[in-house]
């Protein structure tokens, strides 16, 4: 039996809840707000979340990497930068999961260094609050995990696998071994 972390229904409920709050918060914007998807993990969350946004928005993405297999390396590399000018705009960073917090801190610092946004809002589907190494801004959370479990599905991967699962779960040891064989092929 798979250990389910978030079902399709729970994910949809989180998208509706966060989307509704964001609609309220982004009511009176002078410049179009920008939703930034943190690739690749947040791709599914971003896609489902923005379906609930009622005002006009711009979308962009940024690609960073910190994880090696199932461990965070602590060293963040920028692979693909944002292309929209974020000056005076509300910026919503859409992330799959916040673990140590190092990636989110990197993203916020990076945006603040390059632009002068009106505000930065952070929305994450999952929050591994127990694993935090540094204090980081989070405005919206889909679900908080109180145990350090490595999870996959709905954008989250193990060695690039399982991003296409419609729900989020903890892979078994056997599944991880199978994935290791698969990627080595």
Please list the active-site residues. Answer: 99
Burial track 62-97 (b if 16+ CB lie within 10 A, e otherwise):
bebebbeeeebeeebeeeeebeeebeebbbbbbbbb
Select from ligand IMP, Mg ion, none the partner in contact with residue 98, using the beta carbon and a kind-dependent cut-off of 5 to 8 Å. ligand IMP
Minimum distance, C-beta of residue 152 to ligand IMP, in the bound complex (Å): 6
Minimum distance, C-beta of residue 43 to ligand IMP, in the bound complex (Å): 11
Minimum distance, C-beta of residue 155 to Mg ion, in the bound complex (Å): 8
Per rule CB under 5 A, is residue 127 in the interface with Mg ion? Answer: no
Helix (H, G, I), strand (E, B) or coil at 125: strand
- Residues 142 and 96: their CA atoms lie apart, in Å, by 9
Select from Mg ion, ligand IMP, none the partner in contact with residue 99, using the beta carbon and a kind-dependent cut-off of 5 to 8 Å. ligand IMP
Burial track 148-182 (b if 16+ CB lie within 10 A, e otherwise):
eeebbbbbbbbbebbbebebbbbbeeebbeebeee
Q: Which is nearer to ligand IMP, 19 or 101 (CB)?
A: 101
Q: Which is nearer to Mg ion, 96 or 127 (CB)?
A: 96
Residues 110-149 close enough to bind ligand IMP by CB under 6 A: none
Residues 78-97 close enough to bind Mg ion by CB under 5 A: 96
Residues 64-103 close enough to bind ligand IMP by CB under 6 A: 66-67, 72, 95-103
Write the burial class of residue 121 (CB in 10 Å: 0-12 exposed, 13-18 middle, 19+ buried): buried
Distances (CA, A) of 142 to 6, 58, 79, 81, 176: 9, 22, 26, 25, 25
- Residues 151 and 128: their CA atoms lie apart, in Å, by 10
| Options 21-29, 32-40, 135-143, 144-152: segment touching Mg ion (CB under 5 A) | 32-40
Per rule CB under 6 A, is residue 44 in the interface with ligand IMP? Answer: no
Which positions touch Mg ion (CB under 5 A)? 38, 41, 96
Which positions touch ligand IMP (CB under 6 A)? 38, 41, 66-67, 72, 95-103, 150-152, 156
């Amino acid at each position: 039996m798979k250990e389910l972390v978030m079902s399709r229904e729970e994910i949809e409920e989180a998208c509706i809840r966060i989307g509704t709050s964001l609609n309220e918060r982004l009511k009176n914007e002078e410049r179009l707000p920008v939703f930034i998807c943190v690739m690749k993990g947040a791709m599914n969350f971003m896609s489902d979340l923005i379906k609930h946004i009622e005002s006009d928005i711009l979308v962009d993405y940024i690609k960073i990497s910190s994880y090696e297999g199932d461990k965070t390396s602590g060293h963040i590399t920028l692979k693909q930068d944002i292309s929209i000018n974020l000056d005076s705009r509300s910026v919503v960073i859409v992330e799959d999961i916040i673990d140590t917090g190092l990636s989110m801190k990197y993203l916020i610092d990076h945006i603040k260094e390059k632009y002068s946004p009106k505000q930065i809002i952070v929305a994450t589907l999952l929050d591994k609050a127990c694993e935090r190494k540094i204090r980081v801004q989070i405005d919206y959370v889909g679900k908080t995990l109180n145990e350090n479990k490595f999870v996959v599905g709905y954008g989250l991967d193990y060695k690039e696998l399982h991003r296409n699962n419609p729900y989020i779960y903890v892979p078994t040891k056997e599944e991880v071994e199978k994935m290791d064989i698969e990627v080595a092929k």
